[in-house]
Structure 1
Amino acid sequence: MSNRKVQVGNIYKGTVTGLKPFGAFIRLDGVKEEQQNEDNHHHHRHHHRDKNTRDRVKELSGLCHISQISSSRRIDNPNEVLKRDQIVYVKVTQIQDDGKISLSMRDIDQTSGLEQHEDANDLENEVRGRQYQKNQSRSQKRRNSPDMWEMNQLNKVFGAKRARPTSNSEVEDPFAEVESENDEEVEEDVEIELSNEVPAFLQGKNYKANKNAALRAARGAGGSLIRAAQYGSRFMAEVKRVKMEKKQEEEKLKRQAERAKKTEDPMLEELILQTKMQQQKEQAAEKAVDEWRKQAKIESYGIRSQLSMQEQRESLPVFDKREELLKQVQENDIVVVVGETGSGKTTQITQYLAEEGYGNKGIIACTQPRRVAATSVAKRVAEEVGCKVGDEVGYTIRFEDVTSDRTIIKYMTDGMLQVEALSDPDMKRYSVIMLDEAHERTVATDVLFALLKDAVKRRKGSLKLIVTSATLDSAKFSKYFFDCPVFHIKGRTFPVKIFYTKRPELDYIESTIDTVIDVHVNNPKGDILVFLTGRDEIDTCCETIIEKMSVLYKSDPKMAELIVLPIYSALPSEMQSRIFEPTPEGKRKVVLATNIAETSITIDGIYYVVDPGFVKVNAYNAKLGMDSLIVQPVSRAQADQRSGRAGRTGPGVCFRLYTKNAYLNEMSANTVPEIQRQNLSNTILMLKAMGISDVLNFGFMDPPEEDTILSALDELYILDALDVDGNLTKTGKYMTSFPMEPKLTKTLIKSIEFNCSYEVIIIIAMLSVPDVFYRPKEKKERADKMKSKFNDYNGDHLTLLNVYLKWEDSNFSKSWCQDHFIHEKSLKRARDVKRQLLSIVENLDRKERRLDSSVRSCKGNYDLIRKTFVSGFFKNTAKRASNHGHKDEEGSYRTLVENIPVYMHPSSSLFKKHGVDYVLYHTLVLTNKEYMHCITKIDPKWLILYAPRFFKQADPNQLSLTKRRERIQPLFNRNDPKEKWRLSRGRR
């Protein structure tokens, strides 16, 4: 059928005639097609019925796909923006051979009917889209020579380009490849490999051979404790397995009950009855756990006390040392303060300094290693001072600044003070800076040691520095800070008896639970403190102890009740007042805590400490190319600090679940500073921005290994933050303005160039908060169905964008979040992060005196967003494993950098999707496998275009590394060597 009136590229007025989930059918008004009647041989027969049937008139209509309806963003349902019989303006984008018409409403003003282009890029992308559709619609043909097919297979194996067909035979080969008719438009496979280019400032330095040095330093020397840390707890794995089996059994029982109702099978009904009786026996322990969870939700603010605020302050050990401490600060520019946890140094010293008048000369700052500590301490001090948080007392953490012009006492994370050092290396805004919890030796704290040491020297008496800690190598610190005085605040301590195990424990979680129950059953009154590595271990132990105690209560009703209380950083100490409240008469409490209870909080009434001897720390994993949490043995200093918790109220006992030999020979004397076991890219970038060119000789207290610094310099180079001479580039200067890791910062800066910064800022904000989706057990199928509505066929980054935009469209509705199984708290946090990032970008615009805003929308061209993330996260990429005889599992991937096997997480929108060969991931999560988290499909060509310093296209004339791994080896019959060439085994 010829179509003379309608032309591709023209805009027409139309009417919506139908709405489908995939798009809208639109009739082109005023445009009709005349078609000659094909039934000419019936012309005379039907002439007497209707002589007008000779020419039929057909109204033209076409399909506007869902992706072509809106320019600003994608929509899930056409009903959101269109209605039946609505008048619209559409452009004809394609007319197929069968007469089907494709329409588009994108970039068309629905009021005037005129086409709008923001800039040349939009027009170019639209032209490319039409050309792509045109190429896709072309007919395909098969290769027609079996010999040609074999030649192509051989060429592929050895990495050569495809041969052109030499035969025009009409015989169709069923095994031949399907290709486009136009050879110039064939999409060739791109073989990429790592670039060996080394910048001038790194030439001659071998640093890649020792990539795992940081990880080895974090893990220590070895031994039974190391093995236990590496293999983990079998008990934890068993608990997870039992939970999974119970879940499956419940689902099976549910299905059987439904079938029994339909079939009225008496045998089946009896089986169900028996199963229910068995479950009722097990429910006693489960009810105890449910009851414990309900009690755990009781929250209140602050530590309850009958004393007034002033009486509480005066009861602290630091109060007696007030005058002596202030005198030391007045006479010395730097003072090291060593005080027991709970002595009051964090909350009181800042107030003493403000009362002494130091606040009139500048702000009094106190840094904390943890965000939770900075916010909670600021709230406590504001309550003691009698003001709102943000007035005289405030805090600053990443993406949150709760201060004002009236703020005198400012609590902040050490990382935020490090960022301030960029613009103000002399710290002119501050009169006193207090580095609290210095023994934790975070990277930012170690950098601040060196920076503030020099700032104090330059300010000549107008800046005071106080370094405080619960446990500290005071002599080492004093020597580093110009032999400054050390001030001690004594706490009340009592002797502690220490017990070791006779032989190494096979499972430290199981032995911890047994020890707690044994102490409760067989020892005098007194509360128990247990140290574990993380939330999962704490929750599992809490539930297991509750279950076991419920059985013991039944066997011995007179047994004293054991109150089980968890504490970890996600639960601020102020929100868990039950931990600090006195234990009721006749009862005992057990507190299961992370290392936050070593020094950050003080719990009265502890007489018994159970120490399995492990802690979870951050360490740079070269294999993953990122910082990750690993479990490792504690140091002897940490072990001593833990045992000391038992001697605060009276003589105590510490049960160490490891041998004395392990304590003496397998544990390091002190904890390895974080700066010696982490990726230093962000730290080195900060130092470069401060004008410190020789970072290798920067004055760290404990310098990291040289190869760690060189690796960080190399990463900054490939991110375009440094040039070939190691100097900071314009991109590098911009990167220092954002409180994020370099890869995210580079992505955000690149998004300004790609004109998609608004969407990228939203995605970064969503990546900076806890997971927004939740799956309640009883509604997991409905939750999955709701999540699928947001899924984008290009990956999870765009899925997160869809979630935020939909929430925005609902006017930030709480009920919308509940209906779609979304965590409203996470979305609100993401909105705050987005505002902070937008503010930083706007400030940069003013600083650079830009007339136009850098915040722009890509208006639905989401390929720009994917390209932007490739420019920052090109090292986090993987290729689908070939599975041609390899041991790789179906659906597994291999990272392009380290060639390690990784897997797509089942929660990903790309899980089990076909045609996803190359992907980019945000992080790797290690559970039973190494899963890629937050994945996006990419084109391998983008890696060469947007990461030219790291990737290059493989030489087609050489055997690439990938092809060498897939080399074919002959499989032969050793009894008949003459025919060894006849068969080949699969690729290894």
Structure 2
Amino acid sequence: ESDINPFSKKPHSARYKKILQDRKKLLVFSQMDQFLKIFNKHQIMLVVGETGLGKSTQIPQFVCYSDLPHTKGKIVACTQPRHVAAMSIAKRVADEMDVKLGKHVGYSLCFEDMSEPGTTFLKYMTDDMLIREAMEDNLLSRYSTIVLDEVHARTLATDILMPLLRNIAKRRSDLKIVVMSATLDDMRLQKYISLTGPKNPAPLLKLPGRTHLVEVLYLDMPVPNYVEAAIEMVFMIHSMEGPGDVLLFLTDEEEVEEVCQKIKLKAKDLLKKQDPDSVTPLVCIPLHSSLPPQQQQRIFDPAPSPRTRGGPAGRKVVISTDFAETSLAIDGIVYVVDPGVSKQKVYNPRIRVESYLTSPISKASAQQRAGRAGRTRPGKCFRLYTEKDFMTELEEQTPPEILRSNLATTVLQLAKLGIDDIVHFDWIDPPAPESLMRALELLNFLGALDDEGRLTPLGTIMAGFPIEPQMAKMLIASPEFNCSYEVLTIVAMLSVPNVWLRPPKQRKEADAAKALFSNADGDHLTLLDVYNHYVNNKHDKNWCWNNYLSARALQQAENVRTQLLRTMERNKIELVTTSDARKLSENIRKALVCGFFMQVAHKENKTNHYLTVKDNQVVSLHASCGLDTSPEWVLFNEFVLTTQPYLRTVTEVKPEWLLEHAPRYYDESTFPNGHTKRALFPGRKREQEQQKHQLGAAASGQRSAEQQSNSGPSERKKKRKSKKA
């Protein structure tokens, strides 16, 4: 090995040499020669090995040191399903290669690019970003090798990339592809990615697993509350098990933060009741995707030191969403607590609702979680469910996203990639026909696809925005209403995590602070007001904290806004506003209708509930909505399924705007009969009644005339005599 770094042309640092010794201990490092043997001989290959072996950090490095892409002006890409993984792995690899992050090694996310054109030769990126690059360059010509990582996650983007990259490789013999997985059916995947058909499976490198034993323990009986059971299990481990850190899986960030607080409080109480010197120090660290990167890095901190010299060693408890299942490897974890549930995205195409439901995990996920305990030494996995439930209630694999997602964005991306026949696209698992039809229907009503399913000029512009098609449409339509400046801000605010902070012990104060920002016309305009106040207060973090607002989410919104503004400028979309505040509110809401006209609900007078248009789902407004009244018509951003269906992020609209700006969707002749139709077309109903009345009167007059003409002269005389009488 040379003392000179082949990439920076500088001598290797002492730190590099120390890290190299750690790298050589990784199981994947011993397979480098075998990997390069297959890699150099074949254009496409599959690497399978359990989580934590070092595939994500080492395989792309093996490629770089062997292929030296920088000498050819090329780039090696490594895709990740999660943006946090792309960032953290890129940082680790830059350290291992003794180069600066953002220079030779970088990362690229949806609204953040830490790479340098002409210098970066190894780029970690989210899988959707590689699709966006393919939309601009169909052959991905600047890449020499693409490593498709974590394909077992089966994200929408990964399921598009596998057939897409295989087709590109057939047209580019100089492009190498490495597909990496932790748990999938090896032979099925080998056949699917093969360039010469399923009869000639792609070559496979199967990495040896770890030798550390993980003991799996089940409950004898199911528990009524997995959260309370998880907290009890953490303290049972803390008091009765030997040294080692704990990893607890929970369903979402709110649950993670709440349980973290409870564990901290319980640990303080233990400290008060017992001799502090005899109590093992305990630190609790949350982990979820909404945390800023520096806080996420805390999971790699060592466990706390003993309180006294010779006292018991400290213990670290990491409480995580399923993010820690595969994306990050945490040294020191010896005990895993697995409640057996996760928040999973589900989509109901019939009512066009995508929501997150707490559901049992799969057996594959359970095995992944257990494997986190045996990374560096023997460990234990405590499953908070029975062995019978594991065998009978858990599916073998988590259903891929393609089978449980709204496909509108996916279909638009495929259309931009030149794939018109979506139904016969070579999916590894084809989506439900109804889901595809709903996506095609939405894109047709938005004007992105024509009646033949082909991309329109408007659809081409919409596909260029890294946001949902509805938001892209309202952004493109906004200059027509002189409010593109404001709609740009609203779209940015809708594209980031929740800006409202609501700490468990300060919910009343947080709700009161939020109420001060509430705009009477709706939540979309409230988000606009919050962003404007944030900018006017010079991005002050203390102002955010005092108003229970997330400074990080607002900073993200500013970054997103800047990126979207560049896309608008590229497409010559004007940035305009309206000086009259009352008129501005109306214009913004009309622009919202141009994108979200299919997400509208009408109030039922008798019950005070709402009915979604066309689908007639009975819903209520979520408690977080800031509207003072319950308007007759509302446009919503989210349909949330919890104990009952709710609408969240809601704004008042007028029915005449729906008829004016979405006439094809709100066509009276095709609109389903019912309460909403009667409310939407009241004038036309009155016209019909008047016409009916007029026709009835005319018919009555005609019958009377006929009777008179048919009666004889003597009869008419009798009638005249009776009138005189």
| TM-score, normalised by the number of residues in structure 2 | 0.82
Q: CA deviation at 1:771?
A: 3.6
Q: CA deviation at 1:564?
A: 3.4
Write the deviation string for residues 715-755 of structure 1: whole angstroms up to 9, x where unpaired. 21122212222222222111111001111111112213334
Give the aligned partner of residue 71 of structure 2.
360
Give the aligned partner of residue 684 of structure 2.
none
Give the aligned partner of residue 507 of structure 1.
225
Match for 1:485 among 173, 196, 203?
A: 203
Q: CA deviation at 1:622?
A: 4.3
Paired residues of 1:609 and 1:645 also in contact (CA < 8 A) = yes
Give the aligned partner of residue 768 of structure 1.
495
Task: Output aligned runs, 1:808-823, within 5 Å.
Answer: 808-809=535-536, 812=539, 817=544, 822-823=549-550
Q: Distance in 2 between matches of 1:821 and 1:555?
A: 34
Q: CA deviation at 1:669?
A: 1.3
Q: Distance in 1 between matches of 2:187 and 2:360?
A: 25
Task: Output aligned runs, 1:788-937, within 5 Å.
Answer: 790-809=517-536, 812=539, 817=544, 822-845=549-572, 854-860=574-580, 861-862=583-584, 863-883=586-606, 888=607, 890=608, 892-911=609-628, 913=629, 916-927=631-642, 929-937=644-652
Q: Distance in 2 between matches of 1:644 and 1:818?
A: 39
Write the deviation string for residues 837-865 of structure 1: whole angstroms up to 9, x where unpaired. 111121123xxxxxxx6332234432222
Paired residues of 2:51 and 2:368 also in contact (CA < 8 A) = no
Q: CA deviation at 1:926?
A: 4.4
Paired residues of 1:531 and 1:593 also in contact (CA < 8 A) = yes
Q: CA deviation at 1:938?
A: 0.8
Q: Distance in 2 between matches of 1:788 and 1:959?
A: 36
State yes or no: 1:698 paired with 2:425: yes
State yes or no: 1:950 paired with 2:697: no
Paired residues of 2:77 and 2:147 also in contact (CA < 8 A) = yes
Q: Distance in 2 between matches of 1:824 and 1:530?
A: 27
Q: Distance in 2 between matches of 1:536 and 1:476?
A: 38
Q: CA deviation at 1:898?
A: 2.9
| Higher relative contact order, chain-length normalized (CA < 8 Å, sep 6+) | 1
Give the aligned partner of residue 27 of structure 2.
317
Paired residues of 1:954 and 1:960 also in contact (CA < 8 A) = no
Give the aligned partner of residue 522 of structure 1.
240
Q: CA deviation at 1:650?
A: 3.2
Write the deviation string for residues 293-316 of structure 1: whole angstroms up to 9, x where unpaired. xxxxxxxxxxxx998333333332
Write the deviation string for residues 509-530 of structure 1: whole angstroms up to 9, x where unpaired. 2322333333333344443332
Give the match's secondary structure for 1:632: strand
State yes or no: 1:718 paired with 2:433: no
Give the aligned partner of residue 214 of structure 2.
496
Q: Distance in 2 between matches of 1:928 and 1:372?
A: 31
Task: Report the AA paired with residue 449 of structure 1.
Answer: M
Task: Report the AA paired with residue 120 of structure 2.
Answer: T
Task: Output aligned runs, 1:748-763, within 5 Å.
Answer: 748-763=475-490
Task: Report the AA paired with residue 932 of structure 1.
Answer: L
Give the aligned partner of residue 198 of structure 2.
none
Q: Distance in 1 between matches of 2:448 and 2:18?
A: 55
Q: CA deviation at 1:671?
A: 1.5
Q: Distance in 2 between matches of 1:374 and 1:512?
A: 30
Q: Distance in 2 between matches of 1:546 and 1:773?
A: 23
Q: Distance in 2 between matches of 1:455 and 1:732?
A: 24
Q: Distance in 2 between matches of 1:933 and 1:747?
A: 19
Q: Distance in 2 between matches of 1:589 and 1:827?
A: 31
Q: CA deviation at 1:607?
A: 3.2
Write the deviation string for residues 661-691 of structure 1: whole angstroms up to 9, x where unpaired. 2222221111111111111111111112222
Greater Cα shift, 619-628 or 728-737: 619-628
Q: CA deviation at 1:623?
A: 7.0
Q: Distance in 2 between matches of 1:651 and 1:667?
A: 25
Residue segments in structure 1 that go unaligned for 5+ positions in a row: 1-304, 846-852, 965-988
Q: Distance in 2 between matches of 1:955 and 1:826?
A: 42
State yes or no: 1:581 paired with 2:302: yes
Q: Distance in 1 between matches of 2:324 and 2:387?
A: 23
Give the match's secondary structure for 1:536: helix
Task: Report the AA paired with residue 382 of structure 1.
Answer: A
Match for 1:446 among 142, 148, 159?
A: 159
Paired residues of 1:573 and 1:601 also in contact (CA < 8 A) = no
Write the deviation string for residues 486-538 of structure 1: whole angstroms up to 9, x where unpaired. 11333432223323333333222232233333333334444333222222333
Q: Distance in 1 between matches of 2:617 and 2:185?
A: 41
Task: Output aligned runs, 1:74-93, within 5 Å.
Answer: none
Give the aligned partner of residue 460 of structure 2.
733
Give the match's secondary structure for 1:797: helix
State yes or no: 1:414 paired with 2:127: yes
Task: Output aligned runs, 1:298-313, within 5 Å.
Answer: 308-313=18-23
Paired residues of 2:16 and 2:96 also in contact (CA < 8 A) = no
Give the aligned partner of residue 10 of structure 2.
none
Bigger helix fraction? 2
Give the aligned partner of residue 564 of structure 1.
284
Give the aligned partner of residue 618 of structure 1.
345
Give the aligned partner of residue 402 of structure 1.
114
Give the aligned partner of residue 86 of structure 1.
none
Greater C-alpha radius of gyration: 1
Q: Distance in 2 between matches of 1:529 and 1:906?
A: 33
Q: Distance in 2 between matches of 1:306 and 1:736?
A: 43
Task: Flag the 1:639–1:376 CA change in 2: closer, same or farther, 3 A.
Answer: same
Greater Cα shift, 549-558 or 402-411: 549-558
Paired residues of 1:436 and 1:469 also in contact (CA < 8 A) = yes
Q: CA deviation at 1:546?
A: 4.1
Q: Distance in 1 between matches of 2:530 and 2:247?
A: 42
Give the match's secondary structure for 2:329: coil
Q: CA RMSD in A?
A: 3.0
Q: Distance in 2 between matches of 1:787 and 1:504?
A: 40
Residue segments in structure 2 that go unaligned for 5+ positions in a row: 1-14, 195-200, 306-311, 680-725
Task: Flag the 1:546–1:800 CA change in 2: closer, same or farther, 3 A.
Answer: closer
Q: Distance in 2 between matches of 1:383 and 1:390?
A: 12
Give the match's secondary structure for 1:590: strand
Paired residues of 2:79 and 2:149 also in contact (CA < 8 A) = yes
Task: Report the AA paired with residue 69 of structure 2.
Answer: Y
Give the match's secondary structure for 1:952: coil
Match for 2:150 among 437, 449, 474?
A: 437
Q: Distance in 2 between matches of 1:524 and 1:559?
A: 13
Q: Distance in 1 between matches of 2:442 and 2:296?
A: 41
Task: Output aligned runs, 1:636-675, within 5 Å.
Answer: 636-675=363-402
Give the aligned partner of residue 134 of structure 1.
none
Match for 2:48 among 306, 323, 338?
A: 338
Q: CA deviation at 1:906?
A: 4.4
How many residue pairs get matched?
643
Task: Output aligned runs, 1:54-73, within 5 Å.
Answer: none
Q: CA deviation at 1:797?
A: 2.0
State yes or no: 1:382 paired with 2:382: no
Q: Distance in 2 between matches of 1:963 and 1:731?
A: 33
Write the deviation string for residues 214-247 of structure 1: whole angstroms up to 9, x where unpaired. xxxxxxxxxxxxxxxxxxxxxxxxxxxxxxxxxx
State yes or no: 1:348 paired with 2:58: yes
Task: Report the AA paired with residue 659 of structure 2.
Answer: I
State yes or no: 1:474 paired with 2:186: yes
Task: Report the AA paired with residue 655 of structure 2.
Answer: P
Task: Flag the 1:842–1:605 CA change in 2: closer, same or farther, 3 A.
Answer: closer
State yes or no: 1:428 paired with 2:141: yes
Q: Distance in 2 between matches of 1:824 and 1:565?
A: 20
Task: Report the AA paired with residue 53 of structure 2.
Answer: S
